[in-house]
Amino acid sequence: MSEPKVTAIITTFNAAHYIAETLHTITSQSLQALQIIIVDDASTDNTVAILREHCATDERVTILVNEENRGAGYSRNRAFPLATGEFVIFLDDDDLCANDMLEQAYGHAVSAGADVVVFRSDNLDSLTQQRTPAAWTIQAESLPLSRTFTAFETRGNFFRTFIWWAWDKLIRRDLILRSGLQFQEIRTSNDLFFVCALLLQAGAISVCDATLISHRDNRAGSLSNTRELSYDCSLQAIRALYHHLNEQPVYQPLHRDFLNYSIDFLSWSLSTLKHWPAYSDFYRQIRTFYQQIPPVPAAEIESEYLEACYQDLSCGDPETTLMKLKCRLEQDLRHHMTCGAEQRQQRLVLQQQLTEAERAVSEQAEQVAQNHRMAAEIERLQQQAAGQQLHVSELQALNEQYQQERAQRPTTIAGKLCSLLGGRRK
């Protein structure tokens, strides 16, 4: 095998229903100079058998199997020392990659001289198979005009510029080696600290403005759908990033951005919990975190909304905070119900237009039927004329009458539909 340009590290766990499709999108990449390292996290289904069958003859693939379930963070850390590619990408077992994903990302990295290339993605609904754009994963308004940039050069809050997962980022392997960073070995959010801290150190970040990967939503068993089992992982990631920033004075200019991001992110994480024991315990952990760090001045907080969230999280109680969240959700619901009423009105108008179109179709069908009956009558009379010497003038008169009546009939369905559509445009 030639020296790989990219190493793809994939972690799997109980992925038998979809791993073959994921593997196909990786092994069939147009970039052939590729190393693939797969770490199965002690699956209890036949994921490993599928991996071995699918990759048996592909010398680019190495398969590792954990003796016990340790999580994606551990699995990625285990695989990385085996990576030899110039760049590395960390993928999930349910990601679907465009055929030229790595070729495009690698080509962009080389031409731009980038340490990290971030590319666009979309979401694939596992239930409906519908794809939806995910433009929110890259905040375009925060990007500098230059092709490459550093964390200090973003025009908005750096920590909101990207989402801190790993699978939409191609990272220079040497940057990871020099940083000494590893993934946190936690159940969820294990990539937040690692990816964000890496981009903080990157000398050249670049964005490839092409959608190159699809991420599955609404998948049964997805860790993002079982947040109740690991609700404190997001706080562990935020806490690690906070200490990382404070240990290095060079990051002081980004401290305000981070604190605002942390309030926003932890408020969202708290709002995703559905059961009171998890909610109240996580709330108290967040409150302890903010009480242990220096108070955040109001002038440092970006908005009144975040200021209210900070007050709730730092010196409130879980009951009051939950009630305030309920009120905010009710306001959002009323807003969406209003939007829903407008949409229902639009649907009503369209339904009326559809009814008119259907009526026009029915009228046109009746006209066609009448024309057929008239034509049949003429044919019958023609046959009768041949047999009974019917006077030609009577036949011509009947035919002229038919032609006149046909010309005077209402417009065709095409004309009526054009009229309706014309009315809609107005």
Residue 3 sits at the vertex; the CA angle it makes with 2 and 8, to the nearest 5 degrees, is 105
Among the residues of 151-275, which ranges form H helices? Answer: 158-161, 173-179, 192-201, 233-247, 255-271
pLDDT at residue 367 in the model: 56
pLDDT at residue 351 in the model: 52
- Whole-model pTM? 0.76
pLDDT at residue 418 in the model: 43
Q: List pLDDT tens digits, range 409-426.
A: 544 444 444 444 444 443
CB 235 within 8 A of CB 269: yes
CB 213 within 8 A of CB 263: no
pLDDT at residue 274 in the model: 84
Closest CA to 266 of 159, 373, 170, 345: 159
Closest CA to 199 of 262, 263, 154: 154
Q: Which amino acid is at 343?
A: Q
- Give the separation between CA 2 and CA 121, rounded to whole angstroms: 29
> Collapsing DSSP states into helix, strand and coil, what is residue 258?
helix
Taken in order 240, 242, 246, 249, is the CA torsion positive or negative? positive
pLDDT at residue 392 in the model: 62
pLDDT at residue 426 in the model: 38
pLDDT at residue 356 in the model: 42
Residues 6 or more apart whose CB falls under 8 angstroms from that of 419 comprise 411
Bridging pattern class, strands 116-125 and 169-172:
antiparallel
CB 148 within 8 A of CB 84: no
pLDDT at residue 177 in the model: 98
Residues of the chain scoring pLDDT < 50: 341-342, 349-350, 352-364, 410-426
pLDDT at residue 419 in the model: 44
pLDDT at residue 266 in the model: 96
